Amino acid sequence: MTATPSAPVIDLVDLKIEAKSNDQWSKIVNGVSLSIRPGEVLGLVGESGAGKSTVGLAALGYFRPGAKVTGGEVRLLGQNILDIPEEERRKFRGTKVAYVAQSAQAAFNPAYRLMDQIIMVAVDRGGLTREAAQKRALDLFHALQLPDPRNFGKRYPHQVSGGQLQRAMVAMAMICNPALIIFDEPTTALDVTTQVEVLISIRKVIEDYRVAAIYITHDLAVVAQVAHRVAVLRYGEVVEEAPIAQIMERPTHPYTKSLWAVHEMPVGQGDRHGKGAPLLAVTGLGAHYGDFQVLTAIDLDVGRGETVALVGESGSGKSTLGRVIVGLKEVSSGQVVYEGKPLPGTIRRRSLEMLKQIQIIYQSADTALNPRQTVRKIIGRPLTLYQGLRGARREERVLELLKLVELNETHIDRTPGQLSGGQKQRIAIARALAADPRLIVCDEITSALDKVVQAEVLRMLMRLQERLGVSYLFITHDIEVVRAIADRVVVMQDGKIVEQGGKDQVLAQPRADYTRKLLDSVPDMAVGWLDGIVAARAA
């Protein structure tokens, strides 16, 4: 390396990138200048579509198909890598600059052992022998605190957990001792308790190996734990850049302030339980997938006009419980009682009137809305099916429902592809409301949305509840959402309920160990939170 220690590892100078969509070139990165010194971690923050990943990939000298550079420079170790041909740039990747993607599952080839994939770049391009590379990988496994590091490399990707695979990808990126690593939302797809482990590992290797890094995320609480400096991106421009402590304490740009403010989610009404008989009562419920018991002895009430949050990590059975309630999954024991009467187990044995009263909204509005139908048809169909509305009366009601979810008549002729993520989820909510339901099962409905949009949707749901008196069973893994919307909280782990009670009681004085662990794992919006966790563990 010719660069002096204080010279920047990477310099983005007035970088401009355009991308083609619908036969039109649009600017997605508009004059971004960033500079990172050795050992420094820059957090790149912004909503989806802000151009974070495009900037991250540009640091690798890589551009997605359909994107092109229209100006500026990318200086890696003093050399503008945009000047050299793609074949030359390819030699840098993996050796001098490396990339850690969001989904490790998609990044690893399931047919090869982890070790072979991790050392591949080092042997092919890094000039290391197999043995030297394996030794280095082993050191990295230790540094990343992977279990049984000696045998870890012998496993296949499906044999390790999601968090371990994510750390294996960090090892793959670090194998050639690169000068710079791009982390592109590396913990976003993980459960909170796993996220903490991976964050601790990532931070440790960054410090141990003194590598410079760009850490891309939309989660401010996460970036506060790992970054030294933060750049906030919006519409492809850096709106604010400052040291982490400064930007967390005193954000100056209005947009940054609004991002920060989102973390002050709306605050729910608190415990409203106990008004009369419950709307829905689940007693002693069990369910199986084949021989595997997914739900065991579930007892749960949902009152009228109440929001019950069902919290747990992936695999805890919370979504399965939601499916049982809407009739998509048959129970093997116990029952679901609705309005004092037991509900039949399958959709086919439920009457249209029963189906109408319990609606479900899905996590991904992309797959929950038929891409070939217009909003008119999507919202109008339940109106025709349940209430027999047609023609002008149906049209009128569709417009009313659109207004209810804070959209308007301009959206009625669009297909889902012509709507934003937040708008799509609003349409899905309007479709559920079209049935005039008593209970809506909301399955992670805000987790695919940006924080700003998420807060808007949650506020809207609360207003709707006040107006319509509908009950929500809110399935989520996000404690912040629970804090915002729930009256009562039910915590699930491994198909069992470990704790349930009023929101204030469960969140403030959790009784179960698991609840405490879950709550502790949610990152605080404060610098040094992770240090506190590490210190507490060491003690």
Site residues for other proteins per CB under 8 A: 65-66, 326-328, 347, 350, 352, 355-356, 359-360, 362, 364, 367-373, 381-382, 385, 410, 413-414, 418, 431, 435
Q: CB nearer to other proteins: give 317 or 382.
A: 382
Smallest separation, CB 347 to other proteins (Å): 6
Q: CB nearer to other proteins: give 80 or 384.
A: 384
What number of residues does the chain have? 539
The residue to which tokens 């804090």 are assigned: 483
Query: 504-538 burial by CB neighbour count: b if 16+ within 10 A, else e?
Result: bebbeebeeebbeebbebbbeeebebbeebeeeee
Q: CB nearer to other proteins: give 1 or 347.
A: 347
Q: CB nearer to other proteins: give 59 or 427.
A: 427
Q: CB nearer to other proteins: give 313 or 444.
A: 444
Smallest separation, CB 420 to other proteins (Å): 9
Q: For residue 137, what is the DSSP state?
A: H
Supply the angle between the helices 192-209 and 162-174 in degrees, to the nearest 10: 20
d(CA 502, CA 486): 9
Q: CB nearer to other proteins: give 307 or 363.
A: 363
Query: 277-315 burial by CB neighbour count: b if 16+ within 10 A, else e?
Result: ebbbbbeebbbbeeeebbbbebebbbbbbbbbbbbbbee
Q: CB nearer to other proteins: give 161 or 367.
A: 367
Q: Are 518 and 311 in contact (CB under 8 A)?
A: yes
Smallest separation, CB 84 to other proteins (Å): 23
Smallest separation, CB 490 to other proteins (Å): 22
Smallest separation, CB 57 to other proteins (Å): 17
Q: How far apart are the first and last CA of the chain?
A: 41
Smallest separation, CB 118 to other proteins (Å): 31
Q: CB nearer to other proteins: give 2 or 410.
A: 410
Q: 315: which residues sit within 8 A by CB, 6+ positions away?
A: 494
Q: Are 226 and 40 in contact (CB under 8 A)?
A: no
Structure token digits, residue 460 = 């809207």
Smallest separation, CB 433 to other proteins (Å): 13
Q: CB nearer to other proteins: give 203 or 431.
A: 431
Considering only CA atoms, which of 200, 175, 173, 199 is closest in space to residue 188? 199
Q: 435: which residues sit within 8 A by CB, 6+ positions away?
A: 356, 357, 359, 382, 386
Q: Strand, helix or coil at 185?
A: coil
Q: 75: which residues sit within 8 A by CB, 6+ positions away?
A: 8, 10, 11, 12, 13, 81
Q: CB nearer to other proteins: give 23 or 148.
A: 23
d(CA 167, CA 141): 8
Smallest separation, CB 326 to other proteins (Å): 5
173 φ, ψ to 5°? -70, -35
Smallest separation, CB 409 to other proteins (Å): 10
Where helices occur in 80-233 by DSSP H, the ranges are 86-92, 104-107, 114-124, 130-143, 149-152, 162-174, 192-209, 220-226
Smallest separation, CB 467 to other proteins (Å): 23
Smallest separation, CB 479 to other proteins (Å): 25
Q: CB nearer to other proteins: give 205 or 365.
A: 365
Q: CB nearer to other proteins: give 194 or 363.
A: 363
Q: CB nearer to other proteins: give 311 or 445.
A: 445
Say if residue 6 is exposed, middle or buried (CB neighbours under 10 Å; 0-12, 13-18, 19+): exposed
Smallest separation, CB 411 to other proteins (Å): 9
The residue to which tokens 């609360």 are assigned: 462
186 φ, ψ to 5°? -70, -15
Structure token digits, residue 149 = 């590091």
- SS3 annotation, 4-66: CCCCCCEEEEEEEEEEEECCEEEEEEEEEEEEECCCCEEEEECCCCCCHHHHHHHCCCCCCCC
Smallest separation, CB 495 to other proteins (Å): 22
Considering only CA atoms, which of 275, 267, 265 is closest in space to residue 471? 275
